[in-house]
Each structure stands twice: as C-alpha cells, then as structure tokens.
Amino acid sequence: MTKFGVLLLHFGHTASRESVIDQAPQLERWGFDSVWVRDHLMFQPHGFEKPSTVFMEPFSTLTAIAAITTKLVVGTATIIPFRHPLVTSQLFGGVGMVAGPGRLIAGIGAGAPRKPFEATGLAYEDRFDATKEMAEILKLTWSTEKGSYHGRLYQFEGITIDPHPPADTPIWYGGSTPASVRRALEYCDGWFPGRCPLKTFDKYVQRVRDGAEEQGRAMGVGIIPVISIANSREEALAKVDVEGLLGEANERKFWTGPFESADDLEGLLIAGTPDDCAAQIDEYVQRGVDQLVFDFRMRPDDYEEQVARLAEEVLPRVQVAA
C-alpha cells in the first residue's frame, strides 16, 4: 500500500522551527505517513529556488519531530557520506531511539556538490565507494556489538554503537541513474530516485523489481515529485518554475526526453486542480510505489496552504485506491 509523505522545507528562506518542527503533529493528524529531510553542508539552492543559506541539520530535525509525534515515519532523502560513517551510524541511532522501532528509513546517496567533500577532507572521487562503505558500516553496527570493518576507505576494530536502530531498519539508495539502480540492488533495501519523470521511472523501477526477484527479496521503491495545487492547471503551472525544471531535466544524461513542455515532466511534476493532482498521484499508486513523498519547494511561501489542500482536497480522492 502506498504511503504518503512530505519532504520538509527545512532548507531555504522559509525554513523555521515553526514551519518544520512545530507543524509535524498537524501533518500526523492530517494522516500523512512520513516526513523526510535532505542533507547538505554549505547549502546552495537549485537555480529554480530563491537564494538562501539556511539549512536545518537533518538528524536533529528528525529527532525533534520524532519526540513530538507518535506514528510518523522519519526518513532521510538522502544522507551524503561527508561524515565518518561511524558518526552517521551514531546519529541514526539517536533518531531511532527517540522514534522507536519501525519509524525510521535511512536513505543514503553519493550526492553531487563538491564543496561538502572538499570542506571535510574526503576526496570527491571517492564518494561512491564511501556510500557503499557507509551502508556496510551502518548494517554492521546496527546488528553487531564490537564490530570490526576493513574497507578501502574506513577501518576500525571492536566498535559498538549504542543505541542503534534495529538491524532490520531499511536503507534506501537515492539516485535517478542506471548506476543508482545497480547500487540499490547491490547493498541497499530500496531505491529512491527523488525527482524523476515517469517514463524514466518506469524503466528503472522495472530493473529494480527484476533484480530483486532474481535475488529472492523485496525492494522498497519511493519517489519525490514536486507538487503545485491550484484551481486550474494553468494557475498551478504558473506558480512554479517550469522552465527551470525543464532545464534540469534536459541536463540529465539518462532521463528519457526530450523535455519541451510541462507535459513532458509527467511524474516529476504533479500540478493542477485537486482532481488533476489526484489522477497524477494515482499513476504512482497503481505502480505500487511504497513511499510517495511530496516536494513543495516551488511553493515555499504558501507551503502551509499547499499541504492543507493536499491533505484535505487531494489525498482523500486517492487513499481508497492506495
């Protein structure tokens, strides 16, 4: 059954305790299943976002939310390996202890900006190996006391992380390339591409499911489309930077294009009336997506109104099908 979540706007010019943390109990009352955070150091918005350096740290943000809610799953989309993986394991352990069993999904990924790696002393070229070793170290320290590890980048002997999340806490890989699918199948429990057009998503998710079937196991699948709700599709599109999204899409080497109009962004962008949005959401529900997470980054100044409309006017139309 598809679960519905919110990518928190804990970054950018509108980020605040009130909008990010204090609103979480309301998200839970509205019936959302999960909340998600990103990971950055020296935050730089995309070109289609307003300039800002504000970025609320992901682990402390999720810990605060877990403490004042009872059911919301808290997830990372995704954690980048510019920290030592033992530190990352301990940080996840703190979130997991506050949240309790079954309320954490650990999304990880290699990331793209160079600056966090250069600033913290990890070679940018090592980021993919670092992500793999992070996944292996998280699994080791969440299932073993006095664990030892001997990788190319990291080595340690007899380390215990306590508290730590349950050993079966899912680790999902974030990315929207063929290599991200391969890495998810190699050492993770799910695939989480973020923004991804539907034509590309369909191609890759089939690879995920075929690979999981060959391995004899289940793989989770998530997606994080941008959403804009209005009284007409024209108004909804006018509220977002469609040209910016088209520019980003055309730069993606592995996405199935061309991208010339808003219609070509199907799946990456959900936009229109409540009925329009419900129909577009249903496309993912019918595909069996496990986590459908909504990204309001293009409507930050009316974020609360948008979330309320999603909860009250859109999701009731699709939850029966979910």
In the structure, what pLDDT confidence band is assigned to residue 132 with cuts at 50, 70 and 90?
A: very high
The predicted-structure confidence for 240-274, as pLDDT tens digits, reads as follows 999 999 999 999 999 999 999 999 999 999 999 99
Cis amide linkage into residue 78, ω under 30° from 0: yes
What is the three-class DSSP state of 229? Answer: strand
What is the three-class DSSP state of 22? Answer: helix
CA angle 176/178/180 to nearest 5° reads 60
Predicted pLDDT at 309: 98
What is the three-class DSSP state of 197? Answer: coil
Predicted pLDDT at 112: 86
In the structure, what pLDDT confidence band is assigned to residue 51 with cuts at 50, 70 and 90?
A: confident
Burial class for 97, CB neighbours closer than 10 Å (0-12, 13-18, 19+): middle
Please, which residues have CB within 8 angstroms of residue 199's CB and are 6 or more apart in sequence? 256, 266, 267
Mean pLDDT along residues 34-58: 86
Please, which residues have CB within 8 angstroms of residue 217's CB and are 6 or more apart in sequence? none
Predicted pLDDT at 321: 47
Calculate Rg over the CA atoms of the chain: 19
Predicted pLDDT at 47: 65
DSSP string, 267-289: TTEEEESHHHHHHHHHHHHHTT-
What is the three-class DSSP state of 45? Answer: coil
Return the half-sphere exposure (C-beta side, CA atoms, 13 A cut-off) of residue 105.
Answer: 31
Rounded to two decimals, the pTM is 0.96
According to DSSP, the β-strands at 190-192 and 147-150 are: unpaired
Distances in whole angstroms, Cα of residue 134 to Cα of each of 130, 154, 318: 6, 9, 37
Burial class for 165, CB neighbours closer than 10 Å (0-12, 13-18, 19+): buried
The predicted-structure confidence for 199-208, as pLDDT tens digits, reads as follows 999 999 999 9
Mean pLDDT along residues 12-36: 97
Q: CA–CA separation, 25 vs 44, rounded Å? A: 29
User: Which residue segments constitute the domains of the chain, with CATH numbers given?
Assistant: 3-318 (3.20.20.30)
DSSP string, 15-55: --HIIIIITHHHHHHHT--EEEE---SS----TTS-----B
